[in-house]
Amino acid sequence: MTHLFRVISPAICLALLLGAASAQDKPKEFGLVVYKLGERYATDDKAGATLDGFTDYLDKRMPGCDFTRIGVRNKPEDALSLLKDDKKPVAVAIVSPGFYFKHKTELKLTALAEATRGGKDGEQYTLVGAAEMKEYPAGKKVATSMSADPDWLNKAVLRAPAGVKPVEWVQYDNLSDAAYEIIDEEDGAPDFVLVDSVTLDVFAKDDDLKSLKKGLQSERLPQDLVVEIDGRLGDKREEFQKLIGALDDNEQGKKVGENLQSPKFPTPDTKRLEKVQQWYDAG
C-alpha cells in the first residue's frame, strides 16, 4: 500500500499542477453591452458586428482577457434586463447618460470614460424651428428621438422653469422627417425639433433643413458613458481605461472608433457629471 501511494502521488501532483496552470491560462471573461437611446439601428442584427470588432480589439490588446458581446439595445428596459441578468454577468457597458444617472446606484455603475461623437467634447442640444425660440417653449410640441427617457429630457436637456407648462415630447425615429413637416407646414407638425450637435451640423449642410432657425440650447452635457458594473473589471480597470482613451493612436483603433462613432473614449468630465447628478437629485 505504501509503495502504491508513492507511485500515485507524483501523478496526482502533476495533475494538480497542470490544472492550476490551466486555470491561470484561462482568460478572464468580461461581458459587454451597448445601449443607445433613440438609435433605431442599435440592435444585435444591425450593430452586433461593430461591437464584436470592439471586443476583438480589446482582446488582442489586453492579454488574458476575453471580452464578449452580450447585446446591443435601443430601449432602456431591454438594456436594464441585460445588465440585471446574473446568468450572463456584464462587466462593461456603453450607456446613455440618462440611463447612468437613473440606475447608477441600483446597478453599482462607475463612469470610466465618455464618448466623443463627432470629435466633440460633451453634448449640446439645440431647438430648431420655423421661428427662433430663445426661451423655454412652454406647452409646445417638440420632436425628439429620445422620448423613451423623459427624465433625461426634462431634468437635464430642457429644464422647465418653475410654474411653466412643460413641453410635449413627440417621438421621431428620424428627426429629418419632423424638420420637413415644419418646413412644409404640414398639419400636426411639431413646433420645434430638438437636435444634438452632430445632427445640427447635418442640418446646416442641407439646402432645405438649413432654413430652420436655431433657438434655445441646453447646457453642455455628458455624451454616452462607458461604465463598469459592480467593480467587475477588477485589476483590469486601469488598463481598459487607458486603451479606450487612446483608440485613435493606431489604425485599427481608428477604424473601431469610426464604427462606434467615437474617435476615442477619454475619462469623463467629473464636473459635468456632478452638475447633472444634482439636477437628478433635486427631482
pLDDT value of residue 27: 77
Beta partners for residue 142, in sequence order: 169, 192
User: Is 104 a residue whose pLDDT tops 70?
Assistant: yes
Q: Which three cell numbers stand for residue 109?
A: 455603475
Q: Please, what is the Cα angle at 35 between 30 and 36, to 5 degrees?
A: 145
| Cα separations in angstroms, 25 against 1, 19, 197 | 36, 10, 46
Domain 25-117+223-281, CATH among 3.40.50.720, 3.40.190.10, 1.10.3720.10, 3.40.50.300: 3.40.190.10
Residue 1 pLDDT level (bands cut at 50, 70, 90)? very low
pLDDT value of residue 127: 98
Which candidate, 143, 194, 170, 145, places its Cα nearest to that of 41?
A: 145
Would you say 190 and 170 are in contact if contact means Cβ atoms under 8 Å apart?
yes
**Average per-residue pLDDT for the chain:** 92
pLDDT in tens, 107-134: 999 999 999 998 999 999 999 999 999 9
pLDDT value of residue 24: 52
For the segment 88-117, the average pLDDT, to the nearest whole number, is 98
Range scoring the smallest mean pLDDT among 18-22, 32-36, 37-41, 240-244: 18-22
Which candidate, 17, 10, 196, 178, places its Cα nearest to that of 116?
A: 196
25-117+223-281 with 126-217: one CATH topology? yes
pLDDT value of residue 4: 38
For the segment 193-212, the average pLDDT, to the nearest whole number, is 97
User: Is 272 a residue whose pLDDT tops 90?
Assistant: yes
- Dihedral, 125, 201, 134, 121 alpha carbons, nearest 10: 40
Residue 25 pLDDT level (bands cut at 50, 70, 90)? low
Looking at residue 153, the DSSP 8-state letter turns out to be I
pLDDT value of residue 197: 96
For the segment 24-36, the average pLDDT, to the nearest whole number, is 87
For the segment 141-153, the average pLDDT, to the nearest whole number, is 97
For the segment 156-177, the average pLDDT, to the nearest whole number, is 96
> pTM for the complete prediction?
0.90
Homologous superfamily in CATH for domain 126-217: Periplasmic binding protein-like II (3.40.190.10)
In the chain, where the domains are located: 25-117+223-281, 126-217
Q: Please, what is the Cα angle at 75 between 74 and 80, to 5 degrees?
A: 110
pLDDT in tens, 224-265: 999 999 999 999 999 999 999 999 999 999 999 999 999 999
Beta partners for residue 109, in sequence order: 229
Q: What is the strand order of the sheet 213-217 is part of?
A: 168-171, 141-144, 192-195, 126-129, 213-217
In angstroms, the CA 46 to CA 44 distance is: 6
Number of Cβ within a 10 Å radius of residue 141: 15
